[in-house]
Structure 1
Amino acid sequence: MAPRVVTADEFAKLVASNDTLLIGGSGAGHSVPDTLIGAIAKRFKSDGEPRNLTTVHPVGLGDRAERGIGHLAHPGLLKRVVCGTLVDSPPVERMAAANEIEAYTLPQGCLSQLTREMASGRPGLVTHVGLDTFVDPRHGGGKQSAKAQEDLVELIKVGGQEYLFFKPFKVDIALIRGTTADEDGNITMEHEAVFGEMISMAQAARRCGGLVVAQVKRMALRGTLPPKQVKVPGMLVDLIVVDPGQTQTFFTVHDPAYAGEMKVPLTSIAALPFAMRKVVARRAAFELFPGAICNLGSGISTGIASIAAEENALDAVVLTNEQGLIGGAPATGNEPGAGRNYQAMVDQPYQFDFYDGGGLDLAFLSFAEVDEHCNVNVSRFGDRIVGPGGFINISQNAKTMIFSGTFTAGGLDIGWPNGVTDIRKEGAEKKFVRAVEQVTYSGALAAKNGQRALYVTERAVFTRNAAGRLELIEIAPAVDVARDVIAQMQFKPDISPDLKEMDARIFSPERMGLADIIAANRRPIRSERLAKLASTEAH
């Protein structure tokens, strides 16, 4: 039977108190069913119903203001939120910090993959991801408020090895989004910036006996949608809400490059201004090698895509993001998760399968705190609840980790006149601390797994040495180690006997020849068979 087309208000009347909502989409409005979420809030404000909702969404959803999950930030409406990050929804973050709701932040990839486990009726997700971090039940189990009492993650052993078990949820309603629905309820996503895990969410809700509600931009005649473009078949869809004003993201009405409809000239991708964020991203980019498969996390590391585009080096490597984009230039600024000129887009769970399996050669992620044992925190700072997003999946499994950030925070003013470091005002907040507040990345576990790690800033580069300690290996021109580095840390790092100066090209406004830098870096041998074949062809 074909699904019914209803208004957003009619849909909202079907949401009952104590329901669990599984919500698709990513970050700043990418495939987010915002009209549906807003309709629930509208009904609550007029009728006082529904109450005590639980929301589950792998990615943070919001515009850093009131949209997305922010619509639901009303006392009595929201009971529990389980998500990858709260940073996109400040009103909900404030409720969590005030202990007004049960708040959990779990790895984005684990929640994404869990939707598939729920769809199939398997008992939950068993994974190594999250061990020895704040998600590990020995270290908090991902709980971010005192009201969060239920254990959603368990420590188990399989074959004598430790794993984490992420428990499933009983879904009452799945809220998904596409671009077009036909009269049979088949959903395509031709204008969307990401695919997410829409079909898994629909299947999970259907298995639980719940409803599947799809928000779309337009309706098509039965039988006119290309079958291979259907991302959610109509047999899984119960209700359709049409919003002709649906925009691609919260900030972009429609970008054909985000939709994969066209590729843009590299000159149209905005170059970063020459400042400390560009300097940090440039030094990180020195780690690229030909054909490297990389992840660019949100924040300062997304600048690598802009630099590669500016220097015509995008095709030398494969840049990816966790939302499922492969190749091209992941978006910077307020729309991380989208991208331009990509080669392929896959559903988010499959991207995390590749990441968790060690498929990334290099991963570039931001840091907020680093301690002397090389642990990293990006997830919580006092009442500031951010969450890990995809950070844990990526950082635990990449072959090499490059963490990037400014050396201090809170008013740092630094420049490089004529390539010489000039710290005009030091940041008030130290980021290299004796102990991180929350462990989002375990240096000890990384060392055990043999992972290489670098910590890149605008004035210094560190590595984790054989003793498991942070070791200073590079400094920027004219930086005084004692005054500008050690004095700005809460601990004294080890100093490499081969301490060297960072490459001078990083600190000049001119292009630094990134394509040549990449070409000069040695590509690791992935397969002896392929290496043998290449050697035979060379002779």
Structure 2
Amino acid sequence: MKKNKVTSAAEAMALIRDGDVVTTTGFVQSCIPEALHAALEKRYVETGAPRDLTLIMTAGAGDSKGLGTGRLHHEGLLSRVIAANFGRMPKVAQAAKENRIRGYNLPQGVISQLYRACAAGQPGLFSKVGLHTYVDPRHGGGKVNTLTDEEIVKVVDVDGEEWLFYKATKIDVAFIRGTSADPSGNISMEKEALTLDCLAQAMAAHNNGGIVIAQVERIVDDGFLLPKDVRIPGILVDCVVLADAEHHRMNYGVQHDPALAGQIRVPVTGIARMKLDARKIIARRAAFELPPNGVVNLGVGAPEGISSVANEEKVTPYITLTTEAGAVGGVLASGSSFGAATNADCVIDQNQMFDFYDGGGLDMTCLGMAECDQEGNVNTSSFGGKLNGCGGFINISQNARSVVFAGTFTAGGLEVEIENGELKILKEGRSRKFLKLVEQNTFSGPYAKQRSQPVIYVTERCVFQLTKEGLELIEVAPGVDIERDILPHMDFQPIINKPILMDRRIFLDEPMDLLSDLLNLKLCERVSYDSDRNILFLNLEGWQVRQKSDIDDLRRVLVEACEKAGKRVNSVVNHDGFRISEAFYDDYAEMIEYLMEHHYATTTRYTTNAFLRLKMQEALKKRGLAPHVFERKEDAHAFLERHDMFNAAMGEVEEDNEAAAAA
């Protein structure tokens, strides 16, 4: 006889003992086993047991007002928390801040992957994620207070490289969630927005001799579920709890949305446009960084707007948006549905998504920022006396090929006005974001520089770029004065060379034709030819190389222009505001080498960016090319004039020699 595993929530909670290690699923406001959290809270309030639990969780799972894991705040219920996010359980976070419980704030992806290590009986996880941040034991080891003394993160050397080793914590109880269950405990997830880590969590608890409690919304007969529809096999499940509709919402704001569950596909043309405010300005500017045919992750807050902008600009088909929760493709959801996607291509488990991210699969990410300092360090985890947690920020920011941090320039009451394509600051925010030193280091600027990772910082009024020398102001919004609207509201002086204007289209409430920029459809408009002087002028001001295909597009446009000229040309290139990742300098130099061999008589370029000049010179010299990279436009043109005079003089000498020989 098969055992019927369906039981009440109270009976399931009675199996939890004092001191147990409990893990629970959920992502922000989605896929939370609310009935299980409520039942555990009820048992503790009524009986005082179980006590001194350890809670392990990946993303925050709650509404920040007491639901989800926020229910577990009662004194004595928890003695230790290992989590990526504390912000969605503020009373638990406060207990940690006040040294009433021990706590660790570890990267979301690390916790997610540790479930697999626990399931496999491994002692822990090796990862580079967290190096040189507050998770690094040389900078705190992820401990959130002085009460927390055990080291669970170590720096280790493997073949001369630094790694972090994260110690696995064995799990006694796993709270998971699905849609349907049969009496044998087989679980399907047809109406869930995400699958998260439920399988790995169940396996980790089961293989440790613990118990697995699954919350579902319906019970079906044995044999009803098709084998490939079962996401957690019944061999791993001990208790199945049938939840009522209120405790089994898709998320706190949505009872059920079949489009988010992947049950249907819906038209997305009707998605409401964002109003033109500071948040949309930031999203619009960040959208210019999107890599065509690339894979992108968007964080919570200001970055969420990029998905809406991409849809509005009809860019969505040319990029693949993802969330760390496991959604791939489609239009990313926001608000209470954050983490899910409408019309997703697929949904994979959270730990597998972090494998993809950690391995370098992300072409770009856009993440929020609470604080930033002159070294380019960013804090999103602990600021203003609030323990928020890092979430997936560390995994994502350290491993994406390019990073955009996005947020308002100041916080707390900022008011702006956009009029006639210009930005006006009506009321400054109460809190500064650009500080001499961040309160906690969630992203290491020096480590990013060490690895030549491209990083920019986008606000509504200006854009900064991480350089070898520090944070450089590279763009300023129309209508914004640097001395009035930027410098007085920073705690440090950024590097200022020759910042350019942010694209005016960003500040007009009409389509930007972003697709043309991303696909380089108007790149030919940056090229002009003076036939009288035989000079090909290339204006790359504000243009950037996001990927190698951009260089291929530029080569094609230049070759076409040179062939139209019908002879070798002299080239002058404006590189002011031009951006290129270090990974592409050699490809760029190879293009110049090709043009010199086939189409150019000579070429010269100019930029006020000293670092760009240096890197360009190095790349060209490496290929045996004379760099001819100048600081000023005048110097570049003067070089061409000297070159023409030299060629003319050499031509006269050659003619004289030929005449003498003939005589």
Equivalent in the alignment of 2:9: 8
Following the alignment from structure 2 to structure 1, what is the Cα–Cα distance between the partners of residues 184 and 89?
34
Equivalent in the alignment of 1:97: 97
Q: Is the 8 A contact 1:9 1:43 kept in 2?
A: yes
Alpha-carbon displacement from aligned partner over 1:381-430 (angstroms, at most 9, x marks no partner): 14200111000000001110000010011211111111111111111211
1:25 partnered with 2:29? no
Following the alignment from structure 1 to structure 2, what is the Cα–Cα distance between the partners of residues 466 and 153?
30
Following the alignment from structure 1 to structure 2, what is the Cα–Cα distance between the partners of residues 361 and 384?
31
Q: Is the 8 A contact 2:291 2:363 kept in 1?
A: no
Give aligned pairs, total: 524
Following the alignment from structure 1 to structure 2, what is the Cα–Cα distance between the partners of residues 118 and 496?
52
Following the alignment from structure 1 to structure 2, what is the Cα–Cα distance between the partners of residues 390 and 70?
20
The CA RMSD measured in Å over matched residues stands at 1.4
Equivalent in the alignment of 1:513: 513
- Letter paired with 1:281: A
Following the alignment from structure 1 to structure 2, what is the Cα–Cα distance between the partners of residues 251 and 334?
5
Equivalent in the alignment of 1:227: 227
Q: Is the 8 A contact 2:5 2:184 kept in 1?
A: no
Equivalent in the alignment of 1:449: 451
Q: Is the 8 A contact 1:395 1:401 kept in 2?
A: yes
Alpha-carbon displacement from aligned partner over 1:470-515 (angstroms, at most 9, x marks no partner): 0000000021111111111000000133x11000110111121222
Q: Is the 8 A contact 1:2 1:185 kept in 2?
A: no
Following the alignment from structure 1 to structure 2, what is the Cα–Cα distance between the partners of residues 137 and 218?
46
Q: Is the 8 A contact 2:33 2:175 kept in 1?
A: yes
Following the alignment from structure 1 to structure 2, what is the Cα–Cα distance between the partners of residues 296 and 226?
34
Q: Which structure 2 residues correspond to residues 38-187 of structure 1 after superposition, within 5 A?
A: 38-187=38-187
Q: Is the 8 A contact 2:252 2:336 kept in 1?
A: no
Equivalent in the alignment of 2:390: 388
- Letter paired with 2:229: Q
- Letter paired with 1:473: I
Equivalent in the alignment of 2:486: 485
Following the alignment from structure 1 to structure 2, what is the Cα–Cα distance between the partners of residues 268 and 209?
50
Q: Is the 8 A contact 1:44 1:77 kept in 2?
A: yes
Q: Is the 8 A contact 1:291 1:523 kept in 2?
A: no
Equivalent in the alignment of 1:532: none
Following the alignment from structure 2 to structure 1, what is the Cα–Cα distance between the partners of residues 465 and 545?
19
User: Which of 1 and 2 has higher RCO (CA within 8 Å, sep 6+)?
Assistant: 1
Following the alignment from structure 1 to structure 2, what is the Cα–Cα distance between the partners of residues 338 and 154?
34
Q: Is the 8 A contact 1:218 1:244 kept in 2?
A: no
The Cα shift of 1:140 comes to 0.8
Q: Is the 8 A contact 1:282 1:307 kept in 2?
A: yes
Q: Is the 8 A contact 2:370 2:383 kept in 1?
A: no
Q: Which structure 2 residues correspond to residues 103-502 of structure 1 after superposition, within 5 A?
A: 103-245=103-245, 246-467=248-469, 469-497=470-498, 499-502=499-502
Q: Is the 8 A contact 1:295 1:319 kept in 2?
A: yes
Alpha-carbon displacement from aligned partner over 1:455-478 (angstroms, at most 9, x marks no partner): 0000100101132x0000000002
Equivalent in the alignment of 2:587: none
Following the alignment from structure 1 to structure 2, what is the Cα–Cα distance between the partners of residues 478 and 186?
61
Following the alignment from structure 1 to structure 2, what is the Cα–Cα distance between the partners of residues 105 and 415?
38
- Letter paired with 1:120: A
Q: Is the 8 A contact 2:289 2:546 kept in 1?
A: no
Q: Which runs of 5+ in 1 are unaligned?
A: 529-539
- Letter paired with 2:148: A
Q: Is the 8 A contact 1:60 1:86 kept in 2?
A: yes
Following the alignment from structure 1 to structure 2, what is the Cα–Cα distance between the partners of residues 428 and 383?
16
Q: Is the 8 A contact 2:316 2:331 kept in 1?
A: yes
Q: Residues 523 and 279 of structure 1: is their aligned pair in 2 closer, same or farther, counting only changes over 3 Å?
A: closer
Following the alignment from structure 1 to structure 2, what is the Cα–Cα distance between the partners of residues 289 and 410?
32
The Cα shift of 1:3 comes to 4.8
Following the alignment from structure 2 to structure 1, what is the Cα–Cα distance between the partners of residues 164 and 106?
12
Q: Between the two proteins, what is the percent identity of the paired residues? A: 45
Alpha-carbon displacement from aligned partner over 1:34-55 (angstroms, at most 9, x marks no partner): 1111101101111111111111
- Partner residue of 1:524 out of 534, 547, 569: 547
Q: Is the 8 A contact 1:377 1:437 kept in 2?
A: yes
The Cα shift of 1:127 comes to 0.3
- Letter paired with 2:210: G
The Cα shift of 1:176 comes to 0.6
- Letter paired with 2:81: V
Match of 1:421, SS state, is strand
Alpha-carbon displacement from aligned partner over 1:241-287 (angstroms, at most 9, x marks no partner): 01131211122100111101122222333322211000001000011
Alpha-carbon displacement from aligned partner over 1:46-98 (angstroms, at most 9, x marks no partner): 11111111110111110111111111100011111111101112221222222
TM-score, scaled to structure 2: 0.77
Q: Residues 252 and 285 of structure 1: is their aligned pair in 2 closer, same or farther, counting only changes over 3 Å?
A: same
Q: Is the 8 A contact 1:3 1:234 kept in 2?
A: no
Larger radius of gyration: 2
- Letter paired with 2:453: Q
- Letter paired with 1:298: V
Following the alignment from structure 1 to structure 2, what is the Cα–Cα distance between the partners of residues 464 and 170?
41
Higher helix share: 2
Following the alignment from structure 1 to structure 2, what is the Cα–Cα distance between the partners of residues 260 and 339?
9
Q: Is the 8 A contact 1:289 1:519 kept in 2?
A: no
Q: Is the 8 A contact 1:409 1:430 kept in 2?
A: yes
The Cα shift of 1:224 comes to 1.3
Equivalent in the alignment of 1:536: none
Equivalent in the alignment of 2:649: none
Match of 2:335, SS state, is coil
Q: Which runs of 5+ in 2 are unaligned?
A: 521-543, 552-663
Alpha-carbon displacement from aligned partner over 1:360-390 (angstroms, at most 9, x marks no partner): 1111001111100000000001420011100
Q: Residues 93 and 271 of structure 1: is their aligned pair in 2 closer, same or farther, counting only changes over 3 Å?
A: farther
When structure 1 is superposed on structure 2, of 263-272 and 150-159 the one drifting more is 263-272
The Cα shift of 1:27 comes to 1.1
